[in-house]
């Protein structure tokens, strides 16, 4: 069965510092991987996704993630944090022909200190 583990329910960084949010997945077949962001009282916004091809994926707002099959990881990074990055971040995994079922992690709340 597929699963997602996000290491760290809360991450705090200073403005301008590196952001690193960790995600490990379990899947018996090559996965599709996603990162979503959720601002308070809002729905989910897609940051980036990996389906096939290049393992380093660039997304919106300066975020990127690298698919590492050997480590079953898909960590999210951003070189320099901005106050507006404070939000909840969710990693998700899916398989082909799964009827659109996304398996989400528990989420990581990112705080950015001035």
Partner 1 sequence: ETGVTQSPTHLIKTRGQQVTLRCSSQSGHNTVSWYQQALGQGPQFIFQYYREEENGRGNFPPRFSGLQFPNYSSELNVNALELDDSALYLCASSRDDRVAYGYTFGSGTRLTVV
Q: Which residues lie near partner 1 (CB under 8 A)?
A: 4, 32, 34, 36, 41-46, 49, 51, 90, 92, 94-96, 98-107
Select 62 or 104, whichever has its Cβ closest to partner 1: 104
Whether the Cβ atoms of residue 6 and residue 76 lie closer than 8 Å to each other: no
Select 23 or 112, whichever has its Cβ closest to partner 1: 23
Which of 25, 69, 29, 31 minimizes the C-alpha distance to 50? Answer: 31
Tokens of 6: 């996000």
Tokens of 43: 């729905």
Select 3 or 14, whichever has its Cβ closest to partner 1: 3
Q: How far is the CB of 6 from partner 1 (least distance, A)?
A: 8
């Amino acid at each position: 069965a597929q699963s997602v583990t996000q290491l760290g329910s809360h991450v705090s960084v200073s403005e301008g510092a590196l952001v690193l949010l960790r995600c490990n997945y379990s899947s018996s077949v090559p996965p599709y991987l996603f990162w979503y962001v959720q601002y308070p009282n809002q729905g989910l916004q897609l940051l980036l996704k990996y389906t096939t091809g290049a393992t380093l994926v660039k997304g919106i707002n300066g975020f990127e993630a690298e698919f590492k099959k050997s480590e079953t990881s898909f960590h999210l990074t951003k070189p320099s944090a901005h106050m507006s990055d404070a939000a909840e971040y969710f990693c998700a995994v899916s398989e082909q022909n799964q009827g659109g079922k996304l398996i989400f992690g528990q989420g990581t709340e990112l705080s950015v200190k001035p």
